[in-house]
Amino acid sequence: MVSAYLFLLIPVTIWGSNFVVGSWLVGQFHPLVLATIRILFTSSFLLGFAFFTHRLVRIKKREWTYLLLIGFVGTLLNQTFFFQALSYTSATEAALIMSLAPIVTSILAYFFLREPLSIRMIIGSMIAVSGVYMLVAFGKQQAAIGLGDLLAGGAMLTFAISLILIRKLTQTLESIPTTVYSTVFGACMFIPVAYVSDQHPVIAHSVWPWILAALSGVLSQGLGGLLWNQGITKVGASKASIFLNFQPFVAMIVGYIALGLPITRAQLVGSTLIVFGVILATLRIQAMKQTKIEPPNPVRKFVQ
């Protein structure tokens, strides 16, 4: 189980850094153009990885439905909301709103996956969210809801829904082909939408934004997606989503190292609450009755 949590910490660290990187990149590209560049590089990486590791499998009819839904909700809608939100609000505010994903995911998992929603998980999530609030919103004079906040809320909600769909699909299909196929399907949906939406896109003329956008896509959606979906199959959607509370903490550290942003006392207190809340919500208690998860169906032969 410890190794499963490590699978979750790595992508969360990458995603936390992505808030800072994404905020800079939306000044170099139109949000939809940036999302398209990232998803193309991500899809190329995942297809190459799946081909050389022989992870391409035959898809059943039922699985096609889930893959298309994950591609639409988890890639097309999520990435559109995410990068549009960063155009209207700061990375820290976006991180705060995204921190609500664990609670939303836990509620959805309770109703649709029958995953337990224990008091310990609820309390741990609330403590972690309070730490997120102190970390990124301490001292804010007003809490007016703007367009950027609504878009970030859309990114949070679509991410939570995609976690539920992924958890359902990985009961019969391995996490790696799930990630590969759903991302590629999402890319096929994304390209025509980006083309139609903006006929005069803002495109960076320097080579470095392109390199950073490519690396961001490969590491965040490619490698991060593979590790994250693998972790979900081990610990469940609700527990995995709690680790998203680490994202603002990572964003704070990256901002300090890369941009020299100061770390305040409130941020240190908030970070401590985040760590404590995540540990409380995910720590296994011997006396608790563990919920049994049905093993996936036998893995089908890989396509050579």
Q: What is the DSSP string of 101-168?
A: HHHHHHHHHHHHT-----HHHHHHHHHHHHHHHHHHHTT-S-----HHHHHHHHHHHHHHHHHHHHHH
Give the total residue count for the chain.
Answer: 304
Domain residues of the chain, as ranges? 2-282
What band does 157 get if pLDDT is binned at 50, 70 and 90? very high
Cα angle vertex 74, ends 81, 53, to 5°?
135
Nearest C-alpha neighbor of 258 from the set 28, 26, 23: 23
Q: Spell out the alpha helix ranges (H) of 198-287.
A: 207-216, 224-235, 237-242, 246-259, 265-282
List the one residue out of 221, 152, 199, 219 whose CA is nearest residue 30: 199
Half-sphere exposure of 128 (CA within 13 A, CB side): 33
Cα(187)–Cα(174) distance, rounded to whole angstroms? 20
140 pLDDT higher than 60: no
> pLDDT tens digit string along 93-103?
777 777 777 77
How far CA 132 is from CA of 39, 128, 266, 279, in Å, comes to 28, 6, 10, 15
The end-to-end CA distance of the chain, in Å, is 32
Q: Which of 76-80, 192-196, 262-266, 292-296 has the lowest mean pLDDT?
A: 292-296
**Confidence band for 9, pLDDT divided at 50, 70 and 90:** confident
**Which three-class secondary structure state does DSSP give residue 57?**
strand
Q: How far apart are CA 155 and CA 37, in angstroms?
A: 18
**Closest to 94 measured CA to CA, from 18, 9, 4, 7:** 18
Inform me whether the pLDDT recorded for 141 exceeds 70. Answer: no
C-alpha of 25 from chain center: 18
Instruction: Please give the mean pLDDT across all residues of the chain.
Output: 78
Please say if the pLDDT value at position 158 is more than 90: yes
For 76-90, 122-136, 209-223, 286-300, which range has the lowest pLDDT when averaged over its residues?
286-300
301 vs 291: CA distance, rounded Å: 30
Residues with Cβ within 8 Å of residue 161, at least 6 apart in sequence: 73, 74, 108
Given pLDDT bands bounded at 50, 70 and 90, which one contains residue 82? confident
pLDDT band, residue 286 (cuts 50/70/90) = very low
Which residues, including other chains, have CB under 8 Å from residue 256's CB and lie 6 or more apart?
Answer: 262, 263
